Structure 1
């Protein structure tokens, strides 16, 4: 490992204390390593990332998703170190940074390849396309009325929902906005897409799990009011309500570094169940 990139969320590490701590520990392991530091993704793109052996991300899930967007087609794996709030995508907490860096340099890790999701639509000036790791969200304006959405799957009509919006997520993104809207937790090894209506008036509006090869088309039926499109929470784009939004599995993949001692179900317990109980002022039974 000769070239390492560190992308730091400067709002989470204002005095660069964690950044400097990591750089110091890397050089303690191997003083010949070349370290490139990027602040808030400035200077970090696909071409830059291809020169790196690994990208270490300091921040929360949002920082990892933003990094993923900036290096979209890159094959360089990402290692997330959580200095944010939840950090479900991050493999490393502040308390075990030294151990994680040692494992990284000893090669005691695996690289998971996660599916990504793509949406596209024609804005009248051509087709716009966006890729994400977590989800694609269609939603109404806060001050607008309930929207109506027609859903087609593989060209066949599936259902109509009246509600705030629609979430389509990957298995990786199932623990994000999808979970907040009542959708299921999906193990990241499953090759699926999940479609969850947001706060619909219809009793038949339920989540559906689809094969990841499915092609989803969503049309907003509310005239005179556009809907908003968000990909991984990184963009909020007003789109014309008359044209379909097409959603499918992306051809791109995201490589994430995983350590053998990080069990998915322990992560669920610590970052979903345990923190939820803590917010409610309760003690989790398993602790």
Structure 2
């Protein structure tokens, strides 16, 4: 690939020094340029050029995100203006986005330098929050949610789709998710899991009291607007699990799907999909034992069958 610029996005609290050392050694061998944001100086250490956020966005060609799904999502949001490939190195727990374990990073970097990978596109939600004449914009790769604060009433909102009233909600929270995000908050709230091959937006109420009481799947070109009603005294707008704004009666939250807002590096898409199914089964056990065994590595499957036969 020749000389190119790789951006590092480390986990905000966990030590990723092992992976930093691997990347530094690889950089020397490949002649690559390493950059990180100035705010991450203490986490990346020496040997990495520090730049401001805009310079990072403008110059990076590949991003290595070292953490869990949250770190991966943050890296994807960071470069969404010009979505460059993002490689996830797993320092989390149950990660659905990250593919590479730290021990496999050397071979993964070699494959990146030789362009031996595929790109998995990810859609995002463009979220516009309007309150008291002020507008703020956000990007969510998993989900946006409007969540009541304990002791502060409920979330009451009218849903308008393409300027046509669709119905109303009265619930503890509303979760608006992408297909990739359907396995996160939406799944926990009882919403459907959508294939990444589906281009759609899911709206799922949490603990609905009246109004629309089940998940709704909407098309990729439909524009959504949630108009907060009087029963909403104090709620929070969350983007990919982070609180970004206060929401109350009179506020509006607009949502539309942006296709291919992120690009995730995949080395073995089939194996990654199998791991994702296994993680879902461990969370909810929707599979029979024989089906579950088909998802685990052959050596682990053989040991299990041998132990059971004793």
Superposition RMSD on alpha carbons, in Å? Answer: 2.5
The partner residue of 1:121 within 124, 129, 140 is 129
Aligned residue for 1:71?
79
Q: Distance between the aligned counterparts of 2:57 and 2:152, measured in 1?
A: 41
Aligned residue for 2:32?
33
| Distance of aligned partners of 1:204 and 1:33 in 2 relative to their CA distance in 1, 3 Å threshold | closer
**Unmatched runs of 5 consecutive residues or more in structure 1:** 278-282
Q: Mean Cα displacement is larger for which, 165-174 or 236-245?
A: 236-245
Q: Distance between the aligned counterparts of 2:104 and 2:156, measured in 1?
A: 48
Q: Distance between the aligned counterparts of 1:21 and 1:274, measured in 2?
A: 31
Checking the alignment, whether the CA contact within 8 Å between 1:193 and 1:209 is kept in structure 2 is yes
Aligned residue for 1:253?
261
1:226 is aligned to 2:227: no
Aligned residue for 2:243?
235
Q: Mean Cα displacement is larger for which, 197-206 or 101-110?
A: 197-206
Q: Distance between the aligned counterparts of 1:129 and 1:204, measured in 2?
A: 26
Q: Distance between the aligned counterparts of 1:252 and 1:269, measured in 2?
A: 23
Shift of 1:47: 3.4
Q: How does 1:97-108 map to 2 (within 5 A)?
A: 97-108=105-116
1:153 is aligned to 2:161: yes
1:85 is aligned to 2:93: yes
1:6 is aligned to 2:23: no
| Distance of aligned partners of 1:263 and 1:202 in 2 relative to their CA distance in 1, 3 Å threshold | farther
Q: Distance between the aligned counterparts of 2:52 and 2:267, measured in 1?
A: 25
Q: Mean Cα displacement is larger for which, 173-182 or 92-101?
A: 92-101
Q: Mean Cα displacement is larger for which, 34-43 or 111-120?
A: 34-43
SS in 2 for 1:103: helix
Checking the alignment, whether the CA contact within 8 Å between 1:45 and 1:71 is kept in structure 2 is no
Please list the CA deviations of residues 71-121 of structure 1 after superposition, one character each: whole Å capped at 9, or x if unmatched: 330232111111111221112123422332222122111122221111113
Q: Distance between the aligned counterparts of 1:17 and 1:97, measured in 2?
A: 10
Checking the alignment, whether the CA contact within 8 Å between 1:115 and 1:170 is kept in structure 2 is yes
Shift of 1:58: 0.2
1:19 is aligned to 2:25: no
Aligned residues: 279
Give the structure with higher Rg (CA). Answer: 2
Q: Distance between the aligned counterparts of 1:86 and 1:40, measured in 2?
A: 26
Q: Distance between the aligned counterparts of 1:68 and 1:205, measured in 2?
A: 32
TM-score norm. by structure 2 comes to 0.81
